[in-house]
Amino acid sequence: MRYLFFTNTPAHVHLYKYAVRELQQLGHDVLVLGRDYGCTKDLLEYYDLPHEIYGSCRTTKYSLFMSLPFHYTNIFRAVHRFKPDLIFGMGGYAAHAGAVSRTSVVLLLDSEPTWLDYTVARPFAKAILTPHTFGKELSENHFQFHGFKETAYLHPDVYEPSVDIRSEIGLEPDEKYAIVRFNAFGSHHDVGHHGFTADSRRELIELLSEYATVFVLDESRERHDGDLDARPFDFHPALVHDVLAEANLLVADTQTMVTEAALLGTPAIRSNTFVGENDMGNFVELEREGLISNFKSFDEVKARAEELLTDDGAKQRWAERRDDFLADKVNLSEVIVQVALNYGSVESVDSLSRHTVPVR
């Protein structure tokens, strides 16, 4: 069979990388269509996935909308050449590629607030897969799996550190370190939202530096921390999960990396304007399980960060909570492969009964 996967962001590469490899090992033809956004291209090359780049996108608002005609032209040409039997993706590109080529599409969605993605995509989907925490019913072909999209690559069955990361990044064995992740808020679903201000970024780094070595990963063009005691993320982006797993704390105004920290047993603080009554279900559950903290108030962020960095037992407790939390969660890569292998009868396969994807 022939399978096409869309990877529009670095997180999408991680989401599908193990499924792509397994399908290849089973003798199937696989193509990954990627967007040159952030480190997406670097990751596709690092993992040696069979890929083509259909276009690029900057981390600025409305950059995507200006690039859409060019992107769709390249995508439709690639789909026509490859002639897939099934397409996987997380939004409009995959859905519309399937509609034009009359190919079945499986969407994997996890963000209730990003309504535009599923509104333009769901009419064309053979099946929609979402985490068990997803708070909306999208269609009669909507199935849930017991986990998050990040359990495709951070589930204990598939994730293990690739290097001695402390040696790799020049840290002592017992040296505390924190990661600060600043979002550019340039995606279409970020319009109207924001995170830390330039002043709060500086204040946060100054505070964390009193207790730990600080690594800064900043997408924003407004960065003004060049004179602060902080280190940039100057290692290969494929090592980010190894770095995150060993960290004592993550503070971020972005989304995916917070979930990743929780699944790696690293205390995490999230602060942006998505936090609140209509927040994504996965962040609500992770906070309820004691794995992350969601705040709108910057004062609460600072107080919680100081509390965690002065708590020498925090990492061990978080590791135990992580183990308990993941004990009944699905290895999503296995689910993706099974859906691919059974694509011809997605609606009738017993294991894909409505609202349920098996975890075994």
Q: 36 - beta bridge partners?
A: 56
Q: How many CB atoms lie within 10 A of CB 139?
A: 13
Q: If you search the block for the tokens 């190894």, which residue do you land on?
A: 242
Confidence of residue 32 (pLDDT cuts 50, 70, 90): very high
Percent of the chain with pLDDT over 70: 86
Is residue 242 within 8 Å of residue 264, measured between CB atoms?
no
Measure CA of the first residue to CA of the last residue in the chain; give whole Å: 23
pLDDT, average across residues 108-114: 75
Rounded CA-CA distance 245/33 in Å is: 29
* Fold: same for 2-155+329-354 and 165-327: yes
- pLDDT on residue 206: 95
Confidence of residue 231 (pLDDT cuts 50, 70, 90): confident
**Does the pLDDT value for residue 350 go beyond 50?**
no
Residue 256, Cβ density class (10 Å: 0-12 exposed, 13-18 middle, ≥19 buried): buried
Confidence of residue 221 (pLDDT cuts 50, 70, 90): low
Of residues 118 and 139, the one with the higher pLDDT is 139
Is residue 118 within 8 Å of residue 112, measured between CB atoms?
no
Apex 278 CA angle, 59 and 333, nearest 5: 65
Going by DSSP bridges, is the β-strand pair 177-182/142-145 parallel, antiparallel, or unpaired? unpaired
Task: Report pLDDT digits (tens) over 277-327.
Answer: 888 889 999 999 999 999 999 999 999 999 999 999 999 999 999 999 999
Q: What is residue 62's DSSP assignment?
A: T
- pLDDT on residue 355: 36
- pLDDT on residue 280: 87
Question: Which amino acid is located at 295 in the chain?
Answer: F
User: In this structure, what is the dihedral angle of CA atoms 134, 105, 62, 279, given to the nearest 10 degrees?
Assistant: 0
Confidence of residue 345 (pLDDT cuts 50, 70, 90): low
2: CB partners within 8 A, 6+ apart = 28, 29, 30, 31, 82, 83, 84, 85, 86
Q: Structure pTM? A: 0.89
Rounded CA-CA distance 352/152 in Å is: 18
Lowest mean pLDDT among 63-67, 97-101, 227-231, 247-251: 63-67
- pLDDT on residue 265: 97
Is residue 3 within 8 Å of residue 85, measured between CB atoms?
yes
Confidence of residue 141 (pLDDT cuts 50, 70, 90): confident
Phi-psi region of 163 (alpha: psi -120 to 50; beta: other; left: phi over 0): beta
Domain locations along the chain: 2-155+329-354, 165-327
Q: Which one is the CATH code of 2-155+329-354: 3.90.1720.10, 3.40.50.1970, 3.40.50.2000, 3.30.420.40?
A: 3.40.50.2000
Rounded CA-CA distance 95/126 in Å is: 9
The domain made up of 165-327 is a member of CATH 3.40.50.2000: yes
Is residue 48 within 8 Å of residue 65, measured between CB atoms?
no
